[in-house]
Amino acid sequence: MLFIVLFVTFSCKKRQTFSSTPAIDFVNFTKDTVNQGDSLLISIHFQDGDGDFGYSYTSTQTCDLCRTDTSTSCLYHPTWSLFLLDKRDSCLEFFKMPYIDNRGSVKDIEGTIDIEKYNMCCKKIGFQACEPIAANVYDTAYYYVILKDRAGHFSNSLALPPLYVRCQ
């Protein structure tokens, strides 16, 4: 009798559903202080109600790396799904997500995305490239992460905690 009550209780549990607009949350950094030139891993958690991530093709269309307010911005490029915005110079780094086939009956997906950020560098205010700065000085990097699905829905803009770069 107890088995039947437990079976009915657990089999009637409602399935969790997510919005068709992706949502992201910060999980962690592998480290919050790095030397100039070092790499680190940024982990974020994501949820999406229609599971439509990644593109199965690559476009040769060019885009503007340092503008987010125009139609030529890389945010609107048809190949890129994941964006890292450096608030020091407003430039984007962009990444492809693997293609996820959403043809099943359950489209809700969630998981963790690891972003490998290569070659952390110090930047002088007003410059868009990495610039040498006096040794033993720290630069504070502020990043935002944005995720875009195939339907063109943008996630929340996730502000990451500050990263400290030891300039050399």
List the chain pLDDT tens, one digit each, 168 residues. 444 444 444 455 556 688 889 999 999 999 999 999 999 999 999 999 888 888 776 666 677 777 777 777 788 877 888 999 998 888 888 888 888 877 766 678 889 999 999 889 888 766 666 776 776 689 999 999 999 998 889 999 999 999 999 987
* Enclosing H/E stretch for 116: strand 109-117
Contacts of 108 (CB under 8 A, 6+ apart): 15, 16, 17, 18, 47, 48, 49, 51
Q: What is the pLDDT of residue 13?
A: 52
Whether pTM exceeds 0.75: yes
